[in-house]
Amino acid sequence: MSGISPYTSSDINLGLVGVGKIARDQHLPAIAATPNCHLVAVADPHAALDDVPSYATLDAMLDAHPEISAVAICTPTHLRYSQARAALLRGKHVLLEKPPGATLSEVEHLITFAGEQGVSLFAAWHSRFAPGVAQAKQWLAERQVQRVAIEWKEDVRVWHPGQAWIWQPGGMGVFDPGINALSIATEILPQPFFLRQAQLLVPSNAQTPIAAELAFTDPHGAVIEAAFDFRQTGPQIWDMHIDSDGSRLSLTQGGCRLEIDDELIIEAEEREYPGLYTHFVDLVANGRSEVDVAPLRQVADAFLYGHRETTDAFIE
């Protein structure tokens, strides 16, 4: 499809860059379910879709489809800056899969550049769109937190099969899922928090950690601890428990289940990505950008401040 778009001026004609597991599992269904968002073409040197025009590069896709108004970038982290900048340079709005870049400097430049180009940039922290997150934030807003315990443990073989890039510099290792927990924590906790200690367990043939133990505090001395592990077998764990003013808030199942003092408040199916794309359409319609670097900053602090230990675990 090329030439003049058949859609209205309020619609987003979308180009998707990267057609890997996260794009197929989450982005494509969410785009199909989002009113006013229409997939025009995809770009990936190693994959294609049967029913959508497919190109090897971002530039080839945009050359062939000038009607594309926005680009969603779902490639490995180290590729995102150059691809986002190329799309912004051509006046396209950009959605960045998490994390929005390999370094804070990259993301900060993209924020500035998007403003100069007059287009929207959205860092898509999808876990913030989990069903229980907004109400958890509201409940915690006027409370003083004493203790936070975060467990984010999943099986890398299930979620990233054969994806060697995740173990290379910029791939983040266990912080690829761990940053989802940090994106929720930085959203719902009423005070900023700061890293005090980190233990990073790195396989002998990898550059990024397979597990991490983190200790944070906030200005009031709260004890905030997080355990991330990519070696989980059996049930996957995406839980956080927050003690505040004599009460306990539990946000579990990745944010799909919210309990307060053992009373069930919310339990709903995961629909993060449809919420994410609905929000992106709204940002574009209102000429706004939304890029929060707080979760990425916490990861950068862990890599800077953490003590690295080598494990004999071998990444195949």
Catalytic residues, by residue number, are 98
Cα 162 to chain center, whole Å?
Answer: 20
Closest residue by Cα to residue 174 from 213, 205, 133, 148? 213
Work out the end-to-end distance of the chain between its first and last CA atoms, rounded to an integer number of angstroms: 41
Name the amino acid, one letter, at 42. V
**Tokens, residue 242:** 């927050």
Calculate ∠ Cα 32-36-37, nearest 5°. Answer: 45
19 CB burial (10 A radius; 0-12, 13-18, 19+)? buried
Cα(60)–Cα(54) distance, integer angstroms: 9
